Amino acid sequence: MVETQKKGLARRRLLAAAAGTAVGSGAVTGFPTLWAQNIRNVVLRQFGTGVSNQNAIAEKCKEDLGITLQMTALDSDAVTQRAVTQPNSYDIADIEYWICKKVFPAGVLQPMDTSKVRLFDKIVPIFTTGKLTPTSTVAQGTAPNTVSFVDGAGSVRFSPTPTQWFTMIPTIYNADTLGIRPDLVGRPITNWKDIMDPAFRGKTSILNIPSIGIMDAAMICESAGVIRYGDKGNMTRAEIDTTINFLIEAKRAGQFRAFWKTFDESVNLMASGEVVIQSMWSPAVTAVRSRGIPCVYQPLAEGYRAWGGGLALAKHLRGIQLDAAYEYINWYLSGWVGAYLNRQGYYSAVLETARQHMSADEWGYWMEGKPAQGEIKNPQGQVMERAGAVRDGGSFEQRMGAVACWNAVMDEDRYMVQKWNQFIAS
C-alpha cells in the first residue's frame, strides 16, 4: 500500500512538472496526451458565495483546461450548512476562512498536499504567516493562517505552524470598510462610529451574516467608545451582550433602514439612496459607481475589517478527479483569474501572475494607488473610472496593512449567533 501511494504521488508530481512551463500563459499544457484527454472530460461541482463563483471563470477554465465547472452560488450561511450536511453534493468548496474554521473539523474536506501546488511559495504571506510583512501584527479574528494548515494528510486539527498539508488554497480577499454616498451624507466620514450619527437615522444598514456583522459591530462599538475588547475576534459573553445591546438600542431608535445579506441587496440600497452609509463590499461600491451614481469606499481611522476565501477539496475526490482539481487550482493561481478578480476591486493570492495579465495602468490603479492614466474598465469592459481617479484607500500595502480584524468564529460562536438573531428579530 505504501509503495502504491508513493508511485501515485510521483506520477502526479511528474505531471505537474510537465505542465509547469505554461503556467504564466493561462492555458496549462504539456500533459501526456491520454491524461490530458481524460482531464478534458472531468466535471467538477463547485459551490460557494457569489463573490467568486462567477460564470466567466468557469468559461475560461473550460477554454484553457477543458474541465467543466458546475458552479452554484449561495449566501454564507447556506454555504456553511451545505458543506457539512451535503458533502457528496460538491467536489470543490469555495469557502471563506471563518467558514473553514467551522467546516474543516467536520471531516468533510481533505487536506491539500502543498507540493502539488506549483505557485505555493508565491502566495501572499497573510495566508501562511498571518503577516503582510515580517514586521506586521497578526490581526484579531479568524486570521487565515490560523486555519490554513493541519497536522497531517488525514488530520482535521489545525496546526499553529506551517506544515505540508493545507486546508484551502486562497483565491480572493479584501479589506472592507463602510460605503457612503458622498452626495447625500453631507459631511466627511472618518470613523466607524459615524454610521451611528443620528443625522443618518433610517438611512444606514449593516450586513446580516453573524460572523461578519459582529465584526462590523465591534469596529463601531470600539470607535464609539462603548467598549474596549480584549480580543474583538473572540469576545466573552459579557462583551457579546454589550455589543448586541448597543445594536438593539440603535435599532429601536430607528437608526437602521435594513440588514442585507447579498451583494445585490447592498447595491440596490445604496444606488436607490434609501441608504447613505452602510457595511459594504468593494465590488458593490464599484457596481454603484458603474451606474453613474457617486459612491465611496471610505477609509476609516480605526482601519479595515478583512476577509478571505479559498478553494477546498471534498474528501471523496480521488483519481483523475483529484488530479483535475489540483490542475484547476494551479490554473486559478496562474494569473488570468487573479487579474479578473483584481479588476473588480478584490485581491488575488498570487500577485505576480495576476500582474502579467493586467496593463501597467490597471496595475497602477488597482494595486499601487496611482492615479489612472486612462479609462479603468471592469472585467465586462464597462468604464468604471476616468483618467486621474485614485482607488479608495490607496495601494494594496496601505489597505491590507491597515487591517484591524478578520471575520471571526469565536469560542462563544453559538451564543453570539443566538444573540445576533435576537437583535435582528427585535
* DSSP letter, residue 127: G
Q: How confident is the model at residue 37 (pLDDT cuts 50, 70, 90)?
A: low
Single-letter amino acid code for the residue at 416? M
**Does 79 have pLDDT greater than 50?**
yes
Dig out the grid coordinates for 371 from the structure.
492615479
**Does 401 have pLDDT greater than 60?**
yes
Give the CA diameter of the chain.
71
Are 172 and 341 a contacting pair, CB within 8 Å?
yes
Single-letter amino acid code for the residue at 214? I
| Cβ-based neighbours of 424, under 8 Å, separated by 6 or more | 208, 259
Q: In the Cβ-directed half-sphere of 157, how many Cα atoms lie within 13 Å?
A: 5
pTM of the predicted model as reported, rounded to 2 decimal places: 0.87
Integer-rounded Cα radius of gyration of the chain: 22
- H helical segments located in 52-139: 55-65, 76-85, 97-103
pLDDT tens profile 109-135: 999 999 999 999 999 999 999 999 999
| Whole-number pLDDT of residue 75 | 86
Q: What is the mean pLDDT of residues 249-275?
A: 96
| Whole-number pLDDT of residue 14 | 38
In angstroms, what CA-CA distances link 391 with 40, 101, 364, 366, 396? 39, 32, 10, 6, 10
pLDDT tens profile 190-234: 999 999 999 999 999 999 999 999 999 999 999 999 999 999 999
Query: How many other C-beta atoms can be found within 10 angstroms of the C-beta atom of residue 142?
Result: 27
**Does 23 have pLDDT greater than 90?**
no
CA distance 369 to 364: 6
CA distance 78 to 206: 19
**3-state class (DSSP) for residue 174:** strand
CA distance 302 to 313: 36
Q: Cell 452626495: give the residue.
A: 183
Q: What is the mean pLDDT of residues 257-279?
A: 96
CA distance 347 to 304: 14
